[in-house]
């Protein structure tokens, strides 16, 4: 068998980027490099190893879970079943932090619902004088975050906590899909990613309400689902700026605490 046979199988399974994915999966299963995988005819023993990862992908499991890692802001994060896969759109939150703080500034932040830890670790690495509190309800997700903080060398600058400690910035990509819309999501997401990282309650706004009412920071940066609904919620906080995603939609929203008269 050559890698082209696996490309055909992934194409039949509806994988859009089948050519590259077949190569990445085979490299991962065999511990080989791209050139080796593309050039070679696989032995029976190699085929058995590649079969495992290809059949997982055929069944719709996300590529990142099979490879065990996902890119976020140019760095690799360990991921797997039980933790939300970092999204490219979420990188806009980091751009938003850059609009609010200078690289050498010393500040504290809370990453509420840290998941894989991609936001907290990236802020810590992009802002070397910052320190972070992190909150995560899922024990499975917490294991990935701990591993990512360790691998990226930021564990000592992270404080695990519950609730909303006083700090300079609250940042979050909370679950924001309305419960009734979960069933209509793409299969890869719906069947494989943790529903607790997606489900934002009946109107999708449950966690935004909690963040606005309980935050004890001057600045809040949120990934947005329904931008208008979120802006309408912000009673103690006023909307000040936004960062658009690659599709040109506002994705990261920046709020400041209103000065009480």
* Site residues (vs ligand GLN, CB under 6 A): 84, 86, 90, 113-116, 118-119, 173-175, 197
CB of 97 to ligand GLN, least distance (A): 13
Query: Smaller CB distance to ligand GLN: residue 197 or 243?
Result: 197
**Helical segments of 117-205, H only:** 118-126, 139-151, 187-192
Residue nearest to ligand GLN (CB): 115
CB of 81 to ligand GLN, least distance (A): 13
Residues 6+ apart with CB under 8 A from 107: 101, 127, 129, 130, 167, 168, 169
Query: Smaller CB distance to ligand GLN: residue 116 or 217?
Result: 116
Query: Smaller CB distance to ligand GLN: residue 6 or 65?
Result: 65
Contact 132, 109 (CB under 8 A): yes
- 235 token code pair: 């009673």
CB of 99 to ligand GLN, least distance (A): 18
Query: Smaller CB distance to ligand GLN: residue 80 or 115?
Result: 115
Quote the crossing angle between the two packed helices 18-30 and 3-12, to the nearest 10°. Answer: 130
CB of 208 to ligand GLN, least distance (A): 12
Query: Smaller CB distance to ligand GLN: residue 26 or 83?
Result: 83
| 3-class secondary-structure state, position 27 | helix
CB of 134 to ligand GLN, least distance (A): 9
Dist. CA 147–CA 158, nearest whole Å: 12
| 3-class secondary-structure state, position 49 | helix
């Amino acid at each position: 068998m050559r890698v082209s046979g696996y490309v055909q199988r992934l194409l039949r399974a509806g994988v859009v980027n089948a050519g590259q994915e077949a190569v990445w999966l085979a490299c991962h299963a065999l511990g080989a490099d791209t050139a080796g995988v593309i050039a070679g005819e696989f032995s029976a023993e190699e085929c058995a190893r590649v079969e495992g990862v290809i059949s997982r992908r055929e069944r719709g499991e996300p590529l990142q879970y099979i490879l065990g890692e996902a890119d976020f802001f140019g760095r690799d994060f360990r991921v797997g079943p039980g933790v939300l896969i970092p999204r490219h759109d979420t990188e806009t939150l980091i751009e938003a932090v850059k609009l609010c703080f200078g690289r050498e500034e010393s500040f504290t932040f809370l990453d509420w619902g840290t998941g894989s830890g991609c936001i907290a670790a990236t802020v810590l690495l992009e802002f070397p004088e910052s320190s972070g509190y992190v909150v995560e309800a899922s024990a499975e997700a917490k294991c990935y975050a701990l591993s990512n903080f360790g691998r990226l060398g930021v564990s000592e600058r992270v404080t695990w906590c519950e609730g909303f400690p006083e700090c300079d910035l609250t940042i979050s990509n909370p679950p924001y899909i309305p419960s009734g819309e979960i069933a209509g999501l793409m299969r890869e997401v719906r069947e494989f990613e943790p529903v607790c990282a997606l489900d934002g309650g009946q109107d999708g706004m449950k966690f935004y309400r909690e963040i606005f009412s309980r935050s004890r920071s001057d600045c809040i940066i949120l990934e947005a689902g329904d931008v208008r609904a979120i802006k309408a919620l912000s009673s103690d906080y006023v909307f000040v700026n936004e960062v658009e995603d690659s599709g040109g939609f506002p994705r990261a929203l920046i709020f400041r605490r209103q000065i009480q008269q």
